[in-house]
Amino acid sequence: MKKGHQVTMKEIAKKLGVSVSTISRALKDSPELHPETKRKIVEMAKEMNYQPNLLAQSLRISRSKTLGVIVPEITSHFFASCISGIQDHANSRGYNVIICQSNESLDQEKANIRTLVSSQVDGLLISLSRETNRFEHLYDLYDREINFVLFDRVQEDIPVSKVTFNDAGGAYQVVQHLLENGSRKIVYVSGPEDLYISKKRKEGYLKALKEFGVDEDQSLIKITDLTESGNIQVAKDILKLNPRPDAVFCMIDPVAVDVLTEWKAQGIRIPEDIALAGFTNNPTAAVVEPPLTTVSQPGYEMGKLAATHLLDQLDGIASEDPISIVLETTLVARKSSQHFEVKK
């Protein structure tokens, strides 16, 4: 198999004995061309299976009609959904999408940005890696006037558009739910503390406690590095608390699933002995036993909105002033949180 040679306008021109400009005009259906010439050219182009070289077009108009996307990891169902939303919307507006993963690494994130910018993407959609606690690379994009939109894992201070969930609100919903079910001693299992979502969900957790008149207790806030072993360690630590807490709210579903698995192995009954809730509504949440109470975050919608806004900016439809779009989440109450009801 040789390097596939694409048919160019030049070749059509030679075959038909006309100039390249004429080919170009014919294929754009220009009115200043003789209809017969046009017909012949279009026919020949089809016959030769001509397809325009997008690279050349992009170079000429300095717009690649391509968006760059950077997510921490594609294999996460949530980010895959976001990508799907971005794709579908971008394609419907004639844009291509180049996807990169940062693998939760700041260096990789920077490298991705370099590559995408070099590739002349018209704009970027970025969800920050876990490691990203410095933001020069983003300010650099900003200074260079390259359009980008942050989504889900954002940095709040940068004056660019952002699409986020009401993470605090979602956490509030789920903790409120646990409180309403009678729990008072509620653990919050957080990810790394400088992570945007860790902070926001903690806010919601604390707010709910406060409104129900429950005092904040630092010993009930556990931190995991989000690895499986880290999660299991936290699961064990929680069982050592005395008195044992009524309920545990994990920052993301995978943590809750690991905790659940560990506890089941130890013979702890959920929700009878302790209630459990997660966040994100991963596919796994619905199928574990007992089904996991969680908060639903429509990733597809988020991706679609982020893409819409970026493209609106690029196409000059949206104002260039940055905006912040906040999506609401929905509590998905399942069996894992029915602590006191079951007791009765």
Number of residues in contact with DNA, rule: CB under 7 A?
Answer: 29
Q: What are phi and psi of 276, to 5 degrees?
A: -140, 140
* Residue 185 CA, distance from chain mean position: 32
Binding segment toward its own copies, per CB under 8 A, in 30-38, 79-87, 206-214, 224-232: 79-87
Give the interface size with its own copies as a residue count (CB under 8 A): 61
Q: Between 233 and 261, whose beta carbon lies closer to its own copies? A: 261
Piece in contact with its own copies (CB under 8 A), picked from 47-55, 128-136, 189-197, 228-236: 47-55
Q: What's the rounded Cα separation, in Å, for the pair 260 and 268?
A: 9
Q: One symbol per residue from 211 to 250: x for binding its own copies (CB under 8 A), - otherwise; what is it? A: ----------------------------------------
Question: Smallest gap, in angstroms, from Cβ of residue 35 to its own copies?
Answer: 27
Q: Which is nearer to its own copies, 20 or 98 (CB)?
A: 98
* 275 alpha carbon, distance to own chain's centre: 29
- Tell which one of 54, 317, 323, 326 touches its own copies (CB under 8 A): 54
Q: Which of residues 21-60 bind DNA (CB under 7 A)?
A: 21-22, 24-25, 27-28, 32-35, 37-38, 50, 52-53, 56-57, 59-60
Comparison of 63 and 244: residue with beta carbon closer to DNA? 63
Q: Do 304 and 86 contact (CB within 8 A), yes or no?
A: yes
Q: In angstroms, rounded to a whole number, what is the distance separating the alpha carbons of residues 295 and 87?
A: 24
**Partner that binds at residue 25, options DNA, its own copies, none, CB closer than 5 to 8 Å by kind:** DNA
- Residue 317 CA to residue 103 CA, distance in Å, equals 33
| DSSP letter assigned to residue 293 | B
Paired strand residues for 165 = 327
* Residue whose structure tokens are 């993301």: 252
The secondary structure of residue 243, as a DSSP letter, is: S
Give the burial string for 237-254 (b: 16+ CB within 10 Å, else e).
Answer: ebbeeeeebbbbbbbbbb
Residue nearer to DNA on the CB measure, 8 or 284? 8
- What is the nearest approach in angstroms of DNA to the Cβ of residue 47? 15
Task: Calculate helix-pair angle for 106-118, 136-143, nearest 10 degrees.
Answer: 20
Site for its own copies in 282-311 (CB under 8 A): 283-284, 287-289
**Interhelix angle 9-16/35-47, nearest 10 degrees:** 120
Distances (CA, A) of 151 to 44, 126, 160, 299: 46, 6, 11, 10
**Residues at the site binding its own copies, with contacts judged by CB under 8 A:** 1-6, 49, 51-56, 58-59, 62-64, 66, 73-75, 77, 80-81, 83-84, 87, 91, 96-101, 114-115, 117-120, 122, 140-142, 144-147, 160, 257, 261, 283-284, 287-289, 313-314, 320, 322
**Residues at the site binding DNA, with contacts judged by CB under 7 A:** 6, 8-10, 17-22, 24-25, 27-28, 32-35, 37-38, 50, 52-53, 56-57, 59-62
